[in-house]
Amino acid sequence: MKRLLVIILLVIAFMGAGVPRAKAMDPVTIGILAPIVLPYAIPIAESAARYALKGLLNAGTGMVFIFQDMLDVFMLPVGFLEVTIGLPFGLLSYGLQNIWTGGAAPFKLGFHAFMLVPRLFCLYQ
């Protein structure tokens, strides 16, 4: 009875799923349209490439900031260790600095990750 119920539920679940159809463009159509489209597309692509490269370089700078923030997250446990274990050795001030850096890192990471898209479009430098 359980098997029959499982089979019926599976049949009902997959009843609406159809066989996907291929939607490809005919190569002859591409050959016919190429002389019409290419004279307009190539100059536009060449002018856009300059801005695309600038945006990618700007986003790469943002990725460096994100990587730095990811490493700064690990300063929080290091700071706690310096405050607790390193207290007799005079590491309290370094530990508090590392706790502050590690505590602020997730917020900085979120900000830099959020600002990555404007960097990509050269809206934020």
Domain positions in the chain are 59-125
Q: State the pTM of this model.
A: 0.63
The tally of CA atoms less than 13 A away on the side-chain side of residue 37 is: 7
Confidence at residue 37, expressed as pLDDT on a 0 to 100 scale: 72
Q: Indicate the average pLDDT of the chain.
A: 85
Q: Is the model more confident about 112 or about 12? A: 112
Cβ atoms within 10 Å, residue 119 = 21
Percent of the chain exceeding pLDDT 90 equals 42
Cα–Cα dist 60/63, whole Å: 5
pLDDT at 57 over 80: yes
Decide: 119 and 125 in contact? Cβ < 8 Å: yes
Q: What single DSSP character describes residue 88? A: G
For 59-116, what is each residue's pLDDT tens digit? Answer: 999 999 999 999 999 999 999 999 999 888 888 999 999 999 999 999 999 999 999 9
